[in-house]
């Protein structure tokens, strides 16, 4: 079974702090994704990576950066947290072999509150 884990389920930070969210997958997937989920807005892609050290901006990258130094690990960084970044953050991974499906496997999420 694919397992995607995230470093924290709940996190409380103060405005201006630098925040690191970590994600690890154990299925040797090439692709990894960071989403944020807010009520009524669905899943919005922040950044994704299709290989080590490779990254691409998603729909809402402003205020975020990412790091992928190893294939299994994808980190989301909030350089200076703001209250409007209070949200649920979901990490996902998928294989680049989408001959059959594009299935993404999600971690349990990190609920971040910025005070």
Partner 1 sequence: GQSLEQPSEVTAVEGAIVQINCTYQTSGFYGLSWYQQHDGGAPTFLSYNALDGLEETGRFSSFLSRSDSYGYLLLQELQMKDSASYFCAVRDGYNTDKLIFGTGTRLQVFP
Is the CB of 17 or the CB of 28 nearer to partner 1? 28
Question: Can residue 16 be called a binding residue for partner 1 (CB under 8 A)?
Answer: no
Binders of partner 1: how many residues, by CB under 8 A?
A: 27
Question: Can residue 94 be called a binding residue for partner 1 (CB under 8 A)?
Answer: yes
Q: Are 88 and 110 in contact (CB under 8 A)?
A: yes
Instruction: Specify the stretch interacting with partner 1 by CB under 8 A; choose among 13-21, 40-48, 60-68, 74-82.
Output: 40-48
């Amino acid at each position: 079974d694919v397992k995607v884990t995230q470093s924290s389920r709940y996190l409380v930070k103060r405005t201006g702090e630098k925040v690191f969210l970590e994600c690890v997958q154990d299925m040797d997937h090439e692709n990894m994704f960071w989403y944020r989920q807010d009520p009524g807005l669905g899943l919005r892609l922040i950044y994704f990576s299709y290989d080590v050290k490779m990254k691409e901006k998603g729909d809402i990258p402003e205020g975020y950066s990412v790091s992928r130094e190893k294939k299994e690990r994808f980190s989301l960084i909030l350089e200076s947290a703001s209250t409007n970044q209070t949200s649920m953050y979901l990490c996902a991974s998928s294989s680049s072999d989408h001959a059959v499906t594009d299935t993404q496997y999600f971690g349990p999420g990190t609920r971040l509150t910025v005070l």
